[in-house]
Structure 1
Amino acid sequence: MEDSNMTVSVNDDELTRILRSGRPPFTIEASDIANTIENLEASVEEQEERILKEISREEERVRKHEEKMAQLKISLLALKEKRQRYQSALSPIRKLHSELLSLIFVTYLDLFTRGNRFGRNKASSCCGFLPLALVCAHWYSVILETPRLWGTISIDLSLRERLGALTPAIMRHLALSKKALLYLDLDWDSFPMRAKTASPARESGDKFLEILAGEQARWRRVRLHAGLLRFYQDDDTDVQNKFLRELLKPEFPELESLEMQGTGYYADIKNPFMQNCPKLHRLSLSNYSPSGLLDFPWHQITYLSLRNLDVTVVVEALGLCPNLVSVELVIVWRPRTPANGNEVPESNNSNLSLGSLQNLSITMDRTQYLYWSSLRWFLESLTCPSLQTLHLVGVGIRRNDLYGTHPDNAWPDQTLLDFFIRSQLFPTLRILSITNLPVRESNLLDLLAHTPMLADLTIHDLMQRVDNKRRYHSSLHSAGYDDYCSEEDDDFEKLGGFTIGKMFLERLTAAREVDHASSPQGQLTPLLPHLRRIELRLYPFDVQELIWKMARSRWDTGSAGTLPLPVAVEQLESIAIKFIAQGGKWKRSWFEDESVLYELRGEGMAVKVGWESDLEGSDRGEVLVALKDENEEEEED
């Protein structure tokens, strides 16, 4: 006899038959379905409870494993630290004399820190050598006895009301620096302001200038903001100059380097001192007019750095320095806004000859719009017959920026070539670097034809900016250049092509395979016969084989099966090739042993292969190709 409490359920086949019939279940069927649902709910609850308990147990096990892993890592770290402590006891640096330690500490301070900074975030000093002082008592004693470490002082004058608390620390640094030369930086980290403020209760920057003025005989390198030379109480220039002359004497016997900074209102503040500086030879001006330096010894300057100044001011400053050896410039885009679309910037007919200049670096930093008129005007002004090193650098420029046909938007290729010819660089120029600039391949070959003595060449082709065309068209429209907006798709050839192409690599190849039906002997003369080092960044469009031939021909210049060269070609020492990964996609084959470039493993030649994404903010990579050893060559034979 069946149990009256036993429930009857519906199996899957019966449920399928009921659902396919399209009719509602009968009363008995509905009761059976309800019983089935009740049974399933009980099973779900039971299964859910069991699974949750199982998950809880597994989570507890995972937690215990993670704790154990953390303990193991801590234990391993402790062992490594203990090993490091014991190894440090045998470190060769502990055997050095105090004099050598002092030199190492000074090098560390200069290269890896920003010196002793005061008032950066709080009213306390931040010593650049603090990590060294915490190593051991002996190192701390060496630091105390190294005056040079205490003579590097940087003060943030934007912390006006808190500067007074820094005075004791600064005085201590000056005392411990003893008679060592001083490296000073008086600047505003946040925003520029006048030295004295409206509130007498607040500290003023001239207070520190007064403290440091007592040590002006020890000033060696100084960086000043022009706002430090103007006072709130009296805007009369004569009064301010009189105060400064009373505060500072014109004699700075040890001063070697001066950097003046200004911004807007402070760009033309006069500096009435620093007139008698027999050792001064380095000058840097950023947003500060050279006319602000009164009775300045311009004839002593051999290194000059000019940033964010109008190109006319740059030429004026260069003309004041007859003995320049090195110049670094950051050209500012100052376009002449045309009244109509056909107006062309005025050309420059003046000529400034810098006969002593050996090193020139020009950086063109794109900020808002791209114009080349400033560079064109500058190159038309300049002649450098003794130039040995030339660096032309573009910052923030992409190939897409070259849309438009306005004259200001055209790269001054002929002007640059005229500068090379006018300066007669063929016997002097040894190092040439052109990076991130729209130099066409034909223009580059023309330049290299006038520099046969070149030994070091660096060329970085322009990258493509992703999704930038519409934004650039908008900037042209807002600037009033509607007639020069182009809505066509990207066309590299229309934009001037690439800087590095097949023609460039073929012309740089020093020897070619024997071909009796080849062109005349004169065409075999290679470019740059004295080239020792080359660095290229380019898009990898079927050029790997050409790069290999070029590099191999310059490494093994006398190999069999090659035509004799009309001129001797020096052996290449190193080559660095960096491919531009279009859209951030790089190929693993660039780094594999089967790569053509990996065959450049001749004894002694350093070969580096790398890639760099054309996506802004993307990473990059490179690998140094290992030299092929003798055993490997025997196995291949």
Structure 2
Amino acid sequence: MDTPTAGLSFTSKLLPTATQIAQVRNCSRAGILPVPASDLHAIVVEAPEELTRYDAEITKLQNGLDRLVLERTMLASYADGCRSVLAPVQRLPNELLADIFEWSFPEELYVLESTPEEEVDRISQWHLRQLAQVCCRWYSIAMATPKLWSTIAVDTSLWSDCNISIQTLLTLLDYSLTQGQNHPLTLDVGISNMYRCTDLVVEALTKHAHRWRDVFIWSDGEPHRYLANATGSLDRLEMLEINLSSNKSWNELEFFYQAPRLTEFSFAGRLENMPKIPWHQITKCSYHSDSHPPPPYQRLSVLLLANKVDTFTLELDLRNFPLDHDWHSYTSSMRHIEFELSTNDPRVFDKLLDSLTLPSLESFSLAPLSDYDPPAWSSNRFVSLASRSQFGESLTCLCVHAMIAHTELVRCLQAVPRLEKLVLADCVWIDDDAMIVITHELLQLLTYTANSSCLLPRLSTLHMTSLLEFTDASFLDLVASRMRKTRIDGLASFETKLLCYPERQRDMSPETLQQLAQMVASGALKLTVLSEAIDTET
């Protein structure tokens, strides 16, 4: 077979020189015959045969080039196939590959301000269908692994705006539910009574109630009349979160009460609309504000229900709370409590603390509601609560993001000498004003000195969000002293995190950062420093 390179030597004796081409061009322009003209006649006669030879050679070369292109394509595809066969991912067990598929789920899988297009993708599990198109093995894993189909997110308020029919959406939903077989199910469901598809969606979900494990429900109506159809099926339910955005009452619903494994419960809405749940087995609870909250002292009555709760989060808007209201007293054996508050009057928070006795508390957290200024706080009532509840013996973790003078904070810290973890934040709010909690003086008091008393001698973890209104030297002294203390106590290391607000007026010096890096290298310090100018995690 001739090769394309062999054809490169092909030529013709009739090929003109540059002089001959110029001569013919000039004669054509002048309208004269060259002398002798016989040479031109010979070219005219012999050229067709030579052109035929050229055509044959060009065809031969073109066929050779086509063959080369085809062979190159085949070789490239074969090399890719070999590379794929040798790739480490091919040697992963199906179970591990399924785990990787599970971790690749998109964030928009969950219902949160999503679009009709995202709703269609969620219902059809489009992310799994994309994985299934890679190869036969991936198809088999994606389609035959129930746990990959065990998260269902649906928002019925979007269905009427989707570009496919409600019946098609129901078919896709049923297929996704069926593919999960008997694997425990996670549900993220937005249910609106304004749409005719709600009954059908809830009916489809309750057919699989025996698989429910983690359930998130947002509702503006009364879908409990459909949920009740699955009463007695919730043997696997462990976590339940309900958000009622209307005044519809679920308080007669006993559907969730018969859930023997339910231990974690979160509720947003009016307390009187809360469904019946097995409070005697709830160990973790969150109660969040709604648009028309009852008086805070009534809301605290959830503590009477949550008599077995270990960890409790309470979100309260106290900005308009009248001071002349009486609060009931509550005693609880919970070990962890977190307040998310909005109030600018410390007297209101005082009333809240006065109503509590927490003799087993190990962790106390105070933070602002989302998008609100930090709450105001004075030390007197906390010190009283600490004394009444014996925090001096039990409390080991304190998290404070509140408007409190550093001198008041010191009084609070003196009441909890067994504290091991302290989380503090300076306060910056909308009008660009600030309250400095983390000061040079506070760090000096926290610096451990063996020959004298200091604040929190057991402290092993300190996290701060700061405007850096302290000196580098005071921070270095604190860290160095605590490193020495951890060695004395036989602990692995002292841990500190420093997040710097963008509004700060200075940065730590390079020399300070270098000294901190050297401390980290010694192994006795675990340090994280984060800010706009500093992005170091050692």
Pairwise same-fold verdict (TM > 0.5) = yes
Q: What is residue 156 of structure 1 aligned with on the other side? A: 155
Structure having the higher Rg: 2
8 Å CA contact retained: 1:459, 1:537: yes
What code does the residue aligned with 2:241 have?
E
Pairing 1:29-178 to 2, within 5 Å after superposition:
92-109=88-105, 113=107, 115=109, 120-122=115-117, 124-126=120-122, 127=125, 128-129=127-128, 132-161=131-160, 163-178=166-181
User: What is the CA-CA distance between 1:102 and the residue it aligns to?
Assistant: 2.6
How far apart, in 2, do the equivalents of 1:319 and 1:95 lie?
55
8 Å CA contact retained: 2:364, 2:398: yes
User: What is the CA-CA distance between 1:580 and the residue it aligns to?
Assistant: 3.5
Q: What is residue 298 of structure 1 aligned with on the other side? A: 279
For normalisation by structure 2, the TM-score amounts to: 0.72
Q: What is residue 282 of structure 1 aligned with on the other side? A: 264
Structure 2's unaligned 5+ residue stretches are 1-78
Pairing 1:312-327 to 2, within 5 Å after superposition:
312-327=297-312
Give the RMSD, CA atoms, in angstroms.
3.5
User: What is the CA-CA distance between 1:453 and the residue it aligns to?
Assistant: 2.5
Q: What is residue 517 of structure 1 aligned with on the other side? A: none
8 Å CA contact retained: 2:321, 2:348: no
Any idea what the Cα deviations from partners look like across 1:125-181, whole Å, max 9, x if unmatched?
332545644554323321222112212111111135354331111111111111112
8 Å CA contact retained: 1:592, 1:598: no
User: What is the CA-CA distance between 1:509 and the residue it aligns to?
Assistant: 1.1
SS state at 1:360 partner: strand
What code does the residue aligned with 2:461 have?
R
Q: In the alignment, which of 457, 462, 465 is matched to residue 427 of structure 2?
A: 462
How far apart, in 1, do the equivalents of 2:221 and 2:82 lie?
51
How far apart, in 2, do the equivalents of 1:207 and 1:415 lie?
53
Q: What is residue 193 of structure 2 aligned with on the other side? A: 194
Matched, 1:608 2:528: yes
Q: What is residue 498 of structure 1 aligned with on the other side? A: 436
SS state at 2:141 partner: helix
What code does the residue aligned with 1:289 have?
L
Q: What is residue 330 of structure 2 aligned with on the other side? A: 352
User: What is the CA-CA distance between 1:345 and the residue it aligns to?
Assistant: 3.8
How far apart, in 2, do the equivalents of 1:432 and 1:252 lie?
37
How far apart, in 1, do the equivalents of 2:115 and 2:457 lie?
53
Matched, 1:212 2:205: yes
Number of residue-to-residue matches in the alignment:
446
Matched, 1:443 2:381: no
What code does the residue aligned with 2:204 have?
I
User: What is the CA-CA distance between 1:420 and the residue it aligns to?
Assistant: 2.2
Q: 1:273 to 1:149 in 2, by over 3 A?
A: same
Pairing 1:193-592 to 2, within 5 Å after superposition:
193-194=192-193, 203-229=196-222, 245=228, 247-266=229-248, 270-289=252-271, 291-294=273-276, 296-308=277-289, 309-310=293-294, 311-336=296-321, 344-348=323-327, 350-355=328-333, 357-364=334-341, 366=342, 370-371=344-345, 375-395=349-369, 410-435=376-401, 437-463=402-428, 465=430, 468=431, 498-511=436-449, 524-557=452-485, 572-582=493-503, 586-587=506-507, 590-591=509-510
Any idea what the Cα deviations from partners look like across 1:187-233, whole Å, max 9, x if unmatched?
15xxxx425x5xxxxx3312111112222111112222343525xxx
SS state at 1:511 partner: coil
How far apart, in 2, do the equivalents of 1:244 and 1:580 lie?
47
What code does the residue aligned with 1:498 have?
I
How far apart, in 2, do the equivalents of 1:439 and 1:89 lie?
63
How far apart, in 2, do the equivalents of 1:270 and 1:169 lie?
32
SS state at 2:318 partner: coil
User: What is the CA-CA distance between 1:558 and the residue it aligns to?
Assistant: 9.6
Structure 1's unaligned 5+ residue stretches are 1-82, 198-202, 231-239, 338-343, 403-408, 470-489, 513-520, 560-566, 612-618, 626-637
How far apart, in 2, do the equivalents of 1:440 and 1:88 lie?
63
8 Å CA contact retained: 1:534, 1:574: yes
Q: 1:531 to 1:94 in 2, by over 3 A?
A: farther
How far apart, in 1, do the equivalents of 2:444 and 2:457 lie?
14
For normalisation by structure 1, the TM-score amounts to: 0.62
User: What is the CA-CA distance between 1:280 and the residue it aligns to?
Assistant: 0.9
8 Å CA contact retained: 1:458, 1:534: yes
Any idea what the Cα deviations from partners look like across 1:566-623, whole Å, max 9, x if unmatched?
x9696742222233343x6554x53456766556445111223333xxxxxxx57421
8 Å CA contact retained: 1:451, 1:528: yes
User: What is the CA-CA distance between 1:107 and the residue it aligns to?
Assistant: 4.4
How far apart, in 1, do the equivalents of 2:269 and 2:534 lie?
36
Any idea what the Cα deviations from partners look like across 1:320-358, whole Å, max 9, x if unmatched?
122101112222235136xxxxxx44352x321221x22
How far apart, in 2, do the equivalents of 1:432 and 1:146 lie?
44
How far apart, in 2, do the equivalents of 1:90 and 1:289 lie?
60
